[in-house]
Structure 1
Amino acid sequence: MVGTATEFNTLLELCQDRHRRIVLAVLATEQRSLTVNDLTKAIVKHNHHTPLTEISKEESKQIRLSLYHIHIPKLEDLSLVTYDQERQLVEPTSQFDQLQPQLSAIIDAVPDLDPPVAL
C-alpha cells in the first residue's frame, strides 16, 4: 500500500484521529486479535487514564459505536484488519504487518500519545 505519496498521505490521514491511533498502536504492540471491548478499554486508558468501569456507560457506548461504525470499517476498507462481527474480534492482517513500521513511525511522532498501555 505505501509506495506513493498518495498512499503515505492515506496513512497520515488514517492516523489523524486519536481513537484510531490508539487502536493502531495497541494492535501493533499486542500483535494479536483483540475484541472491541479490549480496544474500548485501551482508548479509555489513554484518554482518561482510568479503568473502563470508572467512566459513564454513555461514554463507553459512544467509544464502542465509533469503533464499530467509523474506525474499524475504515481500517477494514484499507485491508489493515478483518472484523468478525459475531465474535467482535479485530484481527490485524498481513497488510497491517507490512505497514507497521510506517504506522509506528507516524504514531511515535505524535507527542500527545503515550506508549500503549497493557490491556
Structure 2
Amino acid sequence: MTETRENGLSQDALFSLLSNPRRRFILRYLNRTDESIQLQDLAAEVAAWENETDREALTSKQRKRLYVSLYQTHIPKLEEAGIVEYDGDTGQIRLTDRGGDLNRYLDVDAPDADGTRRWGRYYLLLALVVALAYGALAVGGGPLDRTGVVVIGVGWVLL
C-alpha cells in the first residue's frame, strides 16, 4: 500500500515524477525563479544542462527536441500532478505551491518541510570532534597509558 504525502501525492506518484532527470531539473530550475517562464526558455535551459553547454551554443535541433519532449511528456505529467501550471495560450509555466513541497526531495541541503535539520551532519561533526580529541589523547598521552587509549579507540570504532 502506498502512503499519501502531505502534498497529496502517493509515494508511487511522487517517485514516478522524480524518477526522470529532466523533470528533476525542471523543478530545480523553477524553484530558483519566482516568476513564470516561457516553455521555450525552459526547454533551452534543460537542453543546455543536458548537453553541458551554454544556451547560445545549442543547435536548433537540440532546442526543438527538448521543447517537444517537455511539451508532450514532462509538462503534462507535472501539470496533472498539480506541480506546475502551464498556460497553453501564452506558453507560460510556473511552479505551484505544491511544487515547492518537493524541494526536500530535490536538494540535499534543504531542510525538511517542518523546518527540522538534517541530523546526519551534526552526527558527522560530533564524530569528527571526538576523533580529534581521541587523536590528541593518543598522541599526547595524558593520564591514560597506551592500553587505555587502545581500549577507548576500539570502543569508539565499535560504536
Normalized against structure 2, the TM-score is what?
A: 0.57
Alpha-carbon distance in 2 for matches of 1:73, 1:104: 23
- Counterpart for residue 93 of structure 2: 90
Give the number of equivalent residue pairs. Answer: 104
Alpha-carbon distance in 1 for matches of 2:87, 2:28: 20
User: Of 15, 18, 27, which residue of structure 2 is paired with 1:15?
Assistant: 18
- Letter aligned with residue 51 of structure 1: D
5 Å matches for 1:44-83? 44-83=47-86
For residue 102 of structure 1, give the secondary structure of its aligned residue in structure 2: helix
Q: Deviations over 1:35-82 (max 9, x none)?
A: 112211221221122223323222211100011010110000000111
Alpha-carbon distance in 2 for matches of 1:53, 1:3: 40
For residue 82 of structure 1, give the secondary structure of its aligned residue in structure 2: strand
Please state how far the C-alpha of 1:94 moved relative to its aligned partner. 1.7
When the two chains are superposed, the root-mean-square deviation of aligned CA atoms in Å is 2.2
- Counterpart for residue 38 of structure 1: 41
Identity level (%): 25
* Larger relative contact order (Cα-Cα within 8 Å, sequence gap ≥ 6): 1
Q: Which moved more, 1:59-68 or 1:34-43?
A: 34-43
Higher gyration radius (CA):
2
Structure 2: tracts of 5 or more residues without a match: 109-159
Structure 1: tracts of 5 or more residues without a match: 106-119
Alpha-carbon distance in 2 for matches of 1:10, 1:104: 19
Alpha-carbon distance in 2 for matches of 1:39, 1:20: 11
Segments ≥4 residues shifted beyond 4 Å: none
Alpha-carbon distance in 2 for matches of 1:32, 1:8: 28
Q: Deviations over 1:74-113 (max 9, x none)?
A: 00000011101122111111211233323435xxxxxxxx
